[in-house]
Structure 1
Amino acid sequence: MTRIVYVNGEYLPENEAKVSIFDRAFLMGDGVYEVTSVLQGKLIDFDGHRARLDRSLTELDMPKPDIFDDLLEIHRELVRRNEVVDGLVYLQVTRGAPGDRDFAFPDPDETTPTVVLFTQSKPGLADTPASRTGIKVISIDDLRWDRRDIKTVQLLYPSMGKMMAKKAGCDDAWMLQDGYVTEGTSNNAYIVKNGKIITRKLSNDILHGITRAAVLRFAKEAQMTVEERSFTIDEAKDADEAFITSASAFVQPVVEIDGHPVSDGTPGPVSRRLREIYLEESLKAAV
């Protein structure tokens, strides 16, 4: 079946979709994005992703597309047309294609935003091998710009971090700033010590994860202790557990850091329980 995508108001076969070479995301990385998971044909945490998209647009002084209020309908239509049971919907909004290259922002009254959405089918997304066995990470310096709270398409360094991890025989990289863990290349990072869940507090240093917010809320509702503070990579290696959260990985254990096993090198009870709670509660609220 040919995948159907959405481009600027049209549903098209993917091989017919086109975006201008003058689009500012292509030339300047001037765009933002969101990824919403689909489980059992329903969207997970959609309202949170839409709210964060609104914030990202505002922070970059980027016009909100006219179809903003129709995004839920568009997501659902793509899921339906592509018969996605488990998978992802990728959404990208750019400042548009003004017709030539210029560092200055185009006049928003003359250049409309570009809006692109597509689906990715991922059968068994909620029960991957990594969710059962855990992942291995390395640590690298965090060399990104200082507005990591905005979910932009500027993903070159995170991509390089993924490749560094791959070359080291690992799954991902945790980035360090002044010796403290900021986050993973595409996820938020956590450790567990003496029953306490520890994760970096929100700031411009990290992405304000939608899954992060939900998981911490569920943890507190389950009477788990949460401490939002920075932690070092040495603390992480000495932790009882470690894990990540993201829209596509949900809650995923980390079992090795820089070649050092975390505790006994197997997923721990806190991360396993949080994953169960997150999937159960998120499916109840899915749209």
Structure 2
Amino acid sequence: MSRIVYLNGDYLPENEAKVSVFDRGFLMADGVYEVTSVLDGKLIDFAGHCIRLGRSLSELGMKNPHSNDEWLAIFREIVARNAVTDGMVYLQVTRGNPGDRDFAYPSPEVEPTVVLFTQAKPGLADSPAAKTGWKVISIPDERWGRRDIKTVQLLYPSMGKMMAKHAGVDDAWFVQDGFVTEGTSNNAYIVKGNKIITRALSHDILHGITRAAVLRFAKEAQFEVEERNFTVAEAQQADEAFITSASAFVMPVVEIDGAAIGSGKPGNVAARMREIYLDEMRKAAL
């Protein structure tokens, strides 16, 4: 069965969905996106993703084409049409097709382009990597300065993923002015004793939806949370490390730049936070 995608109000077989060559998402990376996980056929932290979508659009001066209730109906419909039990829904909104290429923004009357598609990932919450942990390398952070906007401008993160792949590891952590910012597609954390340390929110990092939930759950579980910069050297001396993202949830990190973190195996804090996150998010799923 062909996958069904959503394009500007229509549900179409994927091979029939077409976007103009003049779309600004294609020509200028002028668009934003969200990825929402699906577990047991339900949407994980949907409200958080809607809030961030609205913020990203606002920061770029783009109108939100749907209300949160309308988005929810569209998401539920595309999950149902593709019979997704575990997986992800990808949403992209661009500034649309003005009919030609121009650096200047088009008239506000130009309608945004809205695309959604699903990716089936059976057993998404049972990733074997959660038992072994990720190994990462550090690389210079050479992205643009507004990483808090979840844009489709993902070339350097893709390059970072490939640097990690060529190094035989799972991911890369970006470093700016000597301090870790985040992973290529995730937020980064270290653990010392009962303290979870992660970089504070700013234009330097993505305001992760999973990050917000995990930090809230960590405080409720009586962990101390400290939002501050940390270095690669400090990460190498930490008791544990982990990352969070919408698709990896909470994933232990056991090595950075060839140096084992803690015992070199996933630690108890990361395991506990993954357990709490998945349990609470399943309860609240829509």
Instruction: Map residues 181-260 of structure 1 onto 2, 5 A cutoff.
Output: 181-260=180-259
- C-alpha separation between the residues in 2 aligned to 1:270 and 1:123? 26
Distance 1:77 1:8 in 2: 14
> 2:165 is matched by which residue type in structure 1?
K
CA deviations 1:237-260 (Å, max 9, x no partner) are 110000000000000000110011
Q: Deviations over 1:8-64 (max 9, x none)?
A: 000000010000000001000000000000000000000000000000000000122
CA offsets 1:193-231 (integer angstroms, 9 cap, x no match): 122100000000000000000000000001111000000
Alignment of 1:1-20 (within 5 A): 1-20=1-20
Counterpart position of 1:80: 80
CA distance in 2, matches of 1:66, 1:75: 12
Partner residue in 1 for 2:102:
102
The question of 1:144 aligning with 2:143 is answered: yes
User: For residue 190 of structure 1, what is the amino acid of its counterpart?
Assistant: Y
SS in 2 for 1:147: coil
Q: CA deviation at 1:66?
A: 4.3
1:197 aligned partner, one-letter code: I
Q: CA deviation at 1:143?
A: 0.2
Alpha-carbon distance, 1:78 to partner: 0.7
2:47 maps to 1:47: yes
Which ranges of structure 1 fall in alignment gaps of 5 or more residues? none
Tell me how far 1:68 sits from its aligned partner: 5.6
- Which residue is 1:170 aligned to? 169
Paired amino acid for 2:46: F
Name the counterpart of 2:36. 36
- Within a 5 Å distance, the mapping from 1:267-286 to structure 2 comes to 267-286=266-285
Paired amino acid for 2:137: I
User: Could you tell me how far 1:274 is from its partner in structure 2?
Assistant: 0.2
In 1, the alpha carbon distance for the partners of 2:66 and 2:228 equals: 39
In 1, Cα distance between the equivalents of 2:47 and 2:67? 15
1:131 maps onto 2:130 in alignment: yes
CA separation in 2, counterparts of 1:134 and 1:146?
A: 30
TM-score (norm 2): 0.99
Structure 1 segments of 4 or more deviating over 4 A?
Answer: 66-69
Deviations 1:64-120 (A, max 9, x none): 2146641101110111110100000000000000000000000012x1000000000
Residue deviations 1:159-212, cap 9 Å, x none?
000000000000100000001000000000000012210000000000000000
Amino acid across the alignment from 1:130: A
Inter-CA distance 91–15: structure 2 relative to 1 (3 Å threshold): same
Partner of 1:26 in structure 2?
Answer: 26
Aligned counterparts of 1:100 and 1:131: Cα–Cα separation in 2: 47
User: Does the residue aligned with 1:273 lie in a helix, a strand or coil?
Assistant: helix
Question: Which residue type is aligned with residue 242 of structure 1?
Answer: A
> Structure 2: which 5+ residue stretches go unaligned?
none
User: Within 5 Å, which residues of 2 pair with 1:115-126?
Assistant: 115-126=114-125
Letter in 2 for 1:158: P
Q: SS at 2:125's partner residue? A: coil
Letter in 2 for 1:53: L
Q: Where does residue 161 of structure 1 map in the other structure?
A: 160
Task: Provide the rounded CA distance (Å) in 1 between the counterparts of 2:47 and 2:117.
Answer: 18
Q: Could you tell me how far apart the structure 1 residues matched to 2:265 and 2:112 are?
A: 46
| Number of aligned residue pairs | 286
1:276 aligned counterpart, secondary structure: helix
